[in-house]
Amino acid sequence: MDKVIVEVGDGTTFFFPFGRWLATDEEDGKIVRETPAATEDSQTYLPEVNYVVKVKTGDRWGAGTDANVYIQIFGDKGKSDKKLLDNAQNNFERAKEDVFAVRAVDLGTLTKISIGHDNSGFSAGWFLENISIHSEKENKTYHFFCGNWLATDEGDGLIEREIAASDEHGKTCLPLVTYRLSILTGDRFGAGTDANVKVTLYGTNGDSGERIVDPKGNSFERAKTDIVGIQAVDLGKLTKLRIGHDNSGVGPAWFLDKVIVENEANKEKTFFLCGKWLATDEEDSLIVRELPASDVDGVACLPMKDYDISVVTGDRWGAGTDANVYICIFGTKGDSGKHFLSNKRNNFERNQTDVFRL
């Protein structure tokens, strides 16, 4: 891929130069890349930064894991994508500290991490003691204390955890908050879903990361309200919510009325109005929707904008692809989520520019 050009509805244009392969059999084998926004002459707005990540596995029986471990780092300037922690060593053994190099667009002051594994391999359960991350740009080390299992058969059964940044004495910069979500399915024929539902909350302090919503009992039925709790590092004032499903099950189509989120610490309620289908065979065929926060009367706090995306494929032999291509755009107010780029044309051919609207 040569480059991507994003034109915002207000006339602003951003450039994302790549000039690299996205291929398992070329260069470093990566098929997903992150690049900072730049000017037309490739001067980046944010530099890339090296982060040294040290992971300490606890000293107790069965603490180590053979699963694939990944991390996502959050800061006041945004977040990294999920990074697989792999340095060609035998990592995550009992009472061992492992060191990894992570490179990402400058995240600013670090606020939290999401750490987890894929539950694969023999003895996947893992007892994580702590993590430290050193920013080479700031020459500063952030600490993330866990002292918990990431295991389906230990403790609370979670294999992914969100941990707030703290100083070396364990004092955190942001508290943990429980958000109570009331999810209202619409009252119309076929409104309920059997699919797996996922949600991400966004606020002025960042986002919760994607969470699987799994209420007890027969959930997401017609005209029913399902209530679930999500614990996350304090997100500040909520700005938007992304909700969707995996289109699985016998009847995956879902008509979502709205979601009401209550911060259990301060009892503040935020409304996210939908009134649309999340279905491949209804309306616009979307199964993931982004909903702006609003008050009880439906007045949204953030406007929706159109983004025109121009993707330039490089001019070399074999440069084109027939794969499904997706993009995620990051800004100071959050990210767009993954959007597949499709416009019913033969896209991503050699030396071709394809245009899409988000």
The tokens for 253 are 């189509």
> Which pLDDT does position 175 carry in this prediction?
84
Q: Does residue 8 contact residue 305 with C-beta atoms inside 8 Å?
A: yes
Neighbours of 120 (CB within 10 A): 10
SS3 300: strand
Contacts of 200 (CB under 8 A, 6+ apart): 207, 208, 209, 210, 211, 241, 242, 243, 337
Q: Cβ of 104: how many Cβ atoms within 10 Å?
A: 20
CB 173 within 8 A of CB 164: yes
DSSP sequence for 279-321? -TTSTT--SEEEEE-B-TT--BSS----EEEEEE--SSTT---
| Contact call for residues 183 and 213 (beta carbons, < 8 A) | yes
Q: What is the pLDDT of residue 296?
A: 73
- What confidence score (pLDDT) does residue 118 get? 94
Q: Which DSSP category does 142 fall into?
A: E
Return the exposure string of 248-280: e unless at least 16 CB atoms fall within 10 Å of the residue's CB, then b: eeeebbbbbbbbbbbbeeeeeebbbbbebbbbe
Residue ranges covered by each domain of the chain: 52-174
**CB neighbourhood size of 333 (10 A):** 11
- DSSP-derived pairing of the beta strands 126-135 and 140-150: antiparallel
| Residues of the chain by 3-state class (helix, strand, coil), percent to 5 | 0, 45, 55
User: Per residue in 244-294, pLDDT tens?
Assistant: 999 999 899 999 999 999 999 999 999 999 999 999 998 888 899 999 998
Tokens coding 241: 């919510």
- Quick one: how far is CA 313 from the chain centroid? 26
Give 15's strand partners.
5, 38
Q: What pLDDT shows up at residue 255?
A: 98
Whether the per-residue pLDDT at 100 is higher than 90: the answer is yes
> Tell me, what amino acid is at 54?
K
Tell me, rounded to whole angstroms, the distance of Cα 70 from its chain centroid.
Answer: 12
pLDDT in tens, 296-330: 777 776 677 888 999 999 999 999 999 989 888 88
pLDDT band at 184 (very low <50, low <70, confident <90, very high): very high
CATH architecture entry for 52-174: Sandwich (2.60)
Highest average pLDDT, of 25-34, 214-223, 244-253, comes from: 244-253
Cite the DSSP H helix spans in 133-258: none
Question: What's the mean per-residue pLDDT of the chain?
Answer: 90
DSSP 55-102: EEE-SSTT----SPEEEEEEETTEE---EE---SS--S-TT-EEEEEE
Sign of CA dihedral 346, 350, 354, 358: positive
Residue type, 194: D
Lay out the sheet containing 97-105: strands in order across.
Answer: 97-105, 48-57, 126-135, 140-150
Question: What residue type is 315 in one-letter code?
Answer: D
The pLDDT value recorded for residue 223 is 97
Q: How confident is the model at residue 337 (pLDDT cuts 50, 70, 90)?
A: confident
Output the CA torsion sign for 329, 335, 336, 340: positive
CA Rg, the chain, in Å?
21
Nearest-5° angle of CA 222, CA 223, CA 225? Answer: 105
